[in-house]
Chain A
Amino acid sequence: MGDIRQSLLPRDVLSAAKELLYHLDIYICNLVQSGRQPPQVDSKTLELVEEFILHAPKDRNTPARRMSALQELQLLEIMCSCFQEQSRDTVRQLMFSALFNLQGNQADESRMALLGKLVSMAIAVGRVPILECAATWLQRTHRVYCVRLAQVLVDDYCSMVPGSVPTLQNIHSASPRFCCQFITAVTTLYDLTSEELTPPLELLQMIVSWIQDDPRLVLITFLNTPLSGSQPISSLDVTPLGGLVRWCIKAPLVYRKDKKQALMNGSEESEPEAGPLFSALHLSVLQVFMLLPNILNEKGLYGRLALLQMESLAALTSDLSRLLDQADKHTHTSSADTHALSQLALDRLAQALQVAMASGALLCSREDLRAICSRLPHNNLLQLVLSGPVMYYNNIHTPPLAFSPHAAHSPIASHPTLPTHPTIPTHPTIPTHPTLPTHPAHTPHTPLATHPSSHPQYSAQPFMTGMPFPFRPSH
């Protein structure tokens, strides 16, 4: 394929790129048909791509040719239709990899730029094949670049063009795989460590609604990926669970700060509060955890694969303790408020830990947990989780919940089985706790009750039904 370079050179940028794409398509088709395993695009071809599509300077003597923005748009349009028209997944994947797999050279920058535009455009014009390819790309690429792609998309749809959030929202139906990877990338990107790294509210709303609509969405990559152990190093997590847990736990402390600043700035916030969104998200995450045991058992991975890594948890708890320290230091006025928020964060941590451990997503001993959480301030629930007997959920005979086809998109339908759920045995420990009745500030779930209309399906929380909280009916 390297011999076509001479014929491409005299062409103008756009037609050269077009022609190269055409040749690439044919070349990859031949490659696949030849049946060589694994199909490998040779380096000559990759160089041609870099020279004529990404316009990386070939050598120092020839100045880099550049496309105008219009030409680039034309190229993107051609690419879109090219991927759309290619019927074979393998060819498509190979072509996408040939174009956009990072080579660790200076062409990577323009590669990333072009990829960002292509994916953004594909989202706008609904090119599912490209999104699928992108989902795969997100699985195989170093997380730094994944995060950059996510950043481009978030910028494009959540901040640059007002009113374009619905377009992005559509990727949920267009390509759940891409959507799942996108969520993972976004949760990795926005780790709530600074103001810039706080997700925009539109994005948050979108993600919450996605997961509420379909909790299994977050597991799609996990479900569809053969765990061959060939996971590239430093790629994104298989599931966004770790990131989502981090969001939910840190949110009360981080968002409170933002709100305070907004109040000081005197701007009246007409946007919806982030708090309830995170509450809903937290619930959804817990629900996803609850789905896990069956899936893990089915895959035969129960107790062998930790979806929540211990290291990320450790980082989370240290972050949390730092945030709590700051909150204590910087609060002068509403200490009661601060206290309530801190307790909310700790409660969520305790709940997530408990459920994750119970569902087999977190594999560790209670000793390890205590070590991690030693620096955190006192919290009754956390205390309970850390000290209580481990009730591993090892009943592998329980019928799988999440895999029933009718239940895939309606978690409520599957919940009536929950009362018989073996997690119930952990509950008796709660009433015995002496401090629990004197726990008026502990209202992590109360915000949910304020949205009965928006989330009617949660009004009768099956997870809660078994909990004899004396104050619950009054809400």
Chain B
Amino acid sequence: MLNDQAMSVVFDGSPLKAMQSHSHTAQAALSAQELSQEIKSFISGVDTVQGRKLSVREHARCAVRLLRSVPACRGAVLEHLRGVYDEHVSAFLHNLETEGNASSGVSSNLEDIIQEVHGVLSEFIRLNPRAWAPLVSTWAVDLLGQLSSKHAGRRVAPHSSSLNELLQLWMSCAATRSLMEAYSQCLAAMLAWCPDACVDALLDTSVQHSPHFDWVVAHIGSAFPGTIISRVLACGLKDFCSHGAKDQGLLVMGVDKGNRVPKIGSVVGILGHLAAHHSDSIRKELLRMFQESLSPSSPLSPTSSSTSWESSPQLRRAAVPFLLQLTAMSPNLFGAVSAELVELLRPPVLLQLQALLQGLPREELDNILGLAVHLISQSPSGGARVLRFLADTATPASVIISGPTPSPHEGVREGCDRLLQMLLLHLHKLVFNRSDGAEANAHHSAPSQPQRVIPFLEELQSHVGQLCAETLRLERKRHLWLHQLLCLLSVYRGPSIATEALCQLLTQARNPEELALAWQLHTTLSSCMAGLIPAAVARCVAQIHTHTLGPRQLRQLLLNLAAAIQSQDEERRGAAGAQSSMAIQVGSAVSGHLHDFGPLLLHGDPAVSHAAVRLLSCSPLPRTSSPAHLLLLSRAAVTYFFLALRRRGEAGKVGRDGGQAAEAVNCSVLLLSRFAAYSPLTLKAVLQQLVEGALHKGNADLFGGQIADMSGAPVLSPSVSPDLGASLLDINCRFGTTVNFSGSVWSVFHAGVIGKGLKVRGVAQLPDPSGVIQNIQTLLAVIVQCCSSSGLNGSINGSRSLSDPDEPLPINAEAAKVVAVTLVENVCPDVANGELSWPPEEHARTTVERDIHIRRCFEAHPVLFPLLQVVAAGRPALCYCSAVLRGLLATLLAHWEASREVSSTDSPWHLQASCLLVSCMGEGQLLPPVLANVHEAFRHLTPFEVRLLLLAVWEYVRGNAPMPQKFVFSSEKGLFCRDFSRDGDVARYVAPIHSVLHKNIDRLGHLCWRFQL
């Protein structure tokens, strides 16, 4: 009877094709008698024919046969099969535990029987789902629950919290997999006509065997997401509600005790598992739950069935706390919801929410708020949006409307206000308790363990810029909140964020009040963070380098820095506060980056360069700096100086921004003077560049100069000068030579081409003489400032003392020498005969051309004389100008000799030049006072007499060469002085003077005393 033919098993085609050779017809062979025997065998477990005990396998086969033929045995067979499944699971787990070295035969034997059973069941379900699906689903779910609970404690079984591992384990076991498949099949069939029943059964079992059963629900849920998710949620809500009502303490304790609710843990586990693949539907479902719970209850709503949670007011009230609790327990779910939740919170929803929450007792409300705060602080994304939402709602745009009756939004606003404050408090605690936690960790775990992460702040760090911008708007409470948040963020993330925030504030602040926020931030943070300001400044510099800032921002940043440094000065005057140290820090930080700010002086935007000069002029100079940087800086500063002068002139013309342009000039003067005082190197560089710049053709017009050509003559614009058809190039080509016959006949083109008459001289049109004078004044002031040896001490107040004539500053000899040398190099590039001592006057004709060039230079650049005067003041520097003086004097002599005018006043420029020259030489002590005073008489004399006097000067200088070594430093005056008594007798040279005096005694009587020896 137990032969193979009797073992008729028909499969629905899937698992065991090999067994299909057994024919279905074998069943027909079972007569009533045989069936009766079969039942007896099944009941007793003994083969009634052969009288031996049935093996598990045979017994199971027998059961399957009965299942196929005797309907009344159904219950008993299914019950028996429970044992078979259980046995298989035991064997399977045992096999795993013993690493598969034993009893593999048993498990494989049972595996095929399980597949047989599965085949039969699934065939039945397929043929008649209505009859079998409820039956089998109940059986399968119950058995699954029983199996998972029973074997949960096994060694190989993973902990119930790790759903995925559980799922993997159970799905690799044939018995549980088969049950799962059978259940899925039933569910798929039953969904058509009674989805509620089958899911409820599932969840009931889930509750009974929770949490070991969660893997089943999770698996089924991923197969039928739409059905399962909403029901799991509803189920959890009901449970939550009943527990919440029973145990108020649970809710009060909030998050930490959440695991005490048995079902919510399961719900979280299941949904968490589903979230991997169905986060979208879960999100929709959660949000739907939220909305449904808020929308006014409509008992006759067509969408909700009478059994669903929507119809119960109590459940609706509990939905929001439940959702909060749920999301608090699962980051996955929270992540799914948080992104869209804020979008949902429109004013009407908020009102509903408020109405809902108002009904709650105070304690519970606090609880919910606490939970919400916790959630926000844990939110990994969307934090910025939440923050903006809260702030917007807490401080609505129109605040004036709140009259005697509070507007309906008042409650909502207060709620948000409170929430925000609680959030800040919470974050505060988190941030400042972190270090304690880290210490505690250090005791019993690796010290390198990262600190507790606060996702909200993590996310906000990328929005520091926006936060700063919002803070700077200085809107009532909002900026206080945000400022506090910035502090927390900075403390949380350490110097990098703090630096960033400070840098942003420095860049974005537009007035002192706003800038004060930066200092407040720094004051808060300085206690726990060192080197913040240098880092912030370095970061600003980096921004400058990467050109991420627009001109306006750049300007603002520079001005803010300057203001910061200047506040230091004010502090110094007043009471030294906490800010002063900060201002000093800013100053020193900026000074370290001067070379980075330097190039900004030449920024295309005048505002930026103005701001840069403001900053540079007030920033202290670094203690040490590389020469390259210094040179670059000095070049930039000087260039800016001329730019500023030009702008001042233009502004004066147009009539606007005069004050600012003047202020820019002042700043640049200050900068230059301070810079020059910094070191000999910078002094030299500055002076050299100042002089060069003043004579440069681009700047010459500032000082009333004209652009001179190579020969020193002013160049005409091509349109003005007629084309004479003569070209030096042509001539040079014609002679096949490029030799420069400088000083020879070939180069004498300055007067014109032979045969064409004199060259047309350009009419020198001096723009705005007052401007020129002002510019020259400024230039001189700068140079004097630079040259004055007062140095660092007086640099701060230098601009004041410039305009004060009562405090003449001694000119530094070295500085003057620099000016002198530079001047000579520029005026007289031809170094031939450049020695200091003078030849006899007759030899001057060898240097006629160079002399003419020099004279023309002086003609073109009126600023040269004042410069000479400066040089003269810095004795003995004028000696180095010897060549220039000689050349000029030679041309003047030639002029006066050739002049046929009645009075010297008929050649005004030459008269002036002669006077200035002689007075300079006198000032520079190249001439003794007797000779130096002769210029006072010039304008009363005839040209010839002037020549006589000048000749005397020449003779003297030739006799007493202008050597610097003739000067000795007199410490009482602080100056170099020349002792003329050591030189030859002056009387020899005074004779012509006395002759001229005699000749014109009627007019020069009052000057006689000036020429006494």
Contact = CB atoms under 8 A, between A and B. Distances in A.
Interface in A134-186: 155-157, 159-164, 166-167, 170
B575 interface: no
Contacts of B40: 77
Q: How big is the B interface, by class? A: 20 to 34
A399 to B, nearest CB: 40
B124 A125 contact: no
A126 interface: yes
A312 interface: no
Nearest to A81: B36
B79 A70 contact: yes
A156 to B, nearest CB: 3
Contacts of B36: 80, 125-126
Contact of A162 (B31, B127, B130): B127
A160 B24 contact: no
A80 B39 CA distance: 11
A117 interface: yes
A166 B80 CA distance: 26
Interface string A433-455: 00000000000000000000000
Contacts of B131: 155, 159-160
A68 interface: yes
A85 B102 CA distance: 49
A161 B35 CA distance: 15
B71 A126 contact: no
A124 B69 contact: yes
A121 B36 CA distance: 9
A386 to B, nearest CB: 42
Interface in A23-69: 68-69
A77 B39 contact: yes
A44 to B, nearest CB: 30
A69 B72 contact: no
A336 to B, nearest CB: 34
Interface in B103-128: 123-124, 127-128
B80 A70 contact: yes
Which of A70, A76, A156, A170 lies at the interface centre, i.e. has the most chain B CB atoms within 10 A of its CB?
A70
Contacts of A159: 128, 130-131
B78 A69 contact: yes
Contacts of A125: 32-33, 35-36, 39, 70
A72 interface: yes
Chain A facing B: main interface SS: helix
B68 A69 contact: no
A206 interface: no
Chain B facing A: main interface SS: helix
A156 B128 CA distance: 12
A164 B132 contact: no
Contact of B70 (A68, A70, A121, A163): A121
B76 A161 contact: no
A72 B76 contact: yes
Interface of A: 68-70, 72-74, 76-77, 80, 117-118, 120-121, 124-126, 155-157, 159-164, 166-167, 170
B43 interface: yes
A179 B214 CA distance: 50
A237 B39 CA distance: 36
Contacts of B35: 124-125
A124 B124 contact: no
A124 B43 CA distance: 16
A124 B72 contact: yes
B955 to A, nearest CB: 134
B72 A117 contact: yes
B367 interface: no
Interface in B873-889: none
A77 B71 contact: no
Contact of A124 (B28, B32, B79, B80): B32
B711 interface: no
Interface string B673-695: 00000000000000000000000
B71 A157 contact: yes
Nearest to A70: B76
A160 B128 contact: yes
Contacts of A72: 75-76
A409 to B, nearest CB: 23
Contacts of A163: 24, 27, 68
B69 A69 contact: no
B74 interface: yes
- Top 5 closest A-B pairs, CB basis? A126-B32, A156-B71, A69-B75, A73-B76, A121-B72
B79 A156 contact: no
Interface in B11-56: 24, 27-28, 31-33, 35-36, 39-40, 42-43
Nearest to A113: B75
Contact of A77 (B27, B43, B123): B43
9 contacts: A74-B43, A80-B36, A117-B72, A118-B72, A126-B31, A156-B71, A156-B72, A160-B74, A163-B68
Nearest to B127: A162
Interface in B126-145: 127-128, 130-132
B795 to A, nearest CB: 100
A76 B35 CA distance: 14
Contacts of A161: 67-69, 71, 124
Contacts of B124: 160-162
Given A69-B75, A73-B72, A121-B72, 13 more contacts: A69-B78, A72-B76, A120-B71, A121-B70, A124-B32, A156-B71, A156-B72, A159-B131, A161-B67, A162-B123, A163-B68, A164-B71, A167-B69
B76 A164 contact: no
B1004 interface: no
B73 interface: yes
Given A77-B40, A160-B124, A120 B69 contact: no
Contacts of A121: 39, 70, 72-73
Nearest to A161: B71
Nearest to B42: A73
A131 to B, nearest CB: 12
Contacts of A164: 68-69, 71
Nearest to A155: B131
B329 to A, nearest CB: 38
Contacts of A77: 39-40, 43
Contacts of B32: 124-126, 170
Contacts of A162: 123-124, 127-128
A76 B75 CA distance: 12
A100 to B, nearest CB: 15
A220 B78 CA distance: 39
A73 B71 contact: no
Nearest to A119: B72
Nearest to A168: B71
Contacts of B72: 73, 76, 117-118, 120-121, 124, 156
Contacts of B24: 163
Contacts of B42: 73
B71 A160 contact: yes
Contacts of A157: 71
Nearest to B132: A160
A126 B35 CA distance: 9
Interface in B369-410: none
A251 B80 CA distance: 43
A135 B619 CA distance: 117
A427 B982 CA distance: 180
A69 B42 CA distance: 13
A163 B131 CA distance: 15
Given A125-B39, A126-B32, A160-B124, A73 B68 contact: no
A306 B35 CA distance: 43
A118 B73 CA distance: 10
A242 B973 CA distance: 150
Nearest to B40: A77
A69 to B, nearest CB: 3
Contacts of B127: 162
Interface string B733-768: 000000000000000000000000000000000000
A176 to B, nearest CB: 17
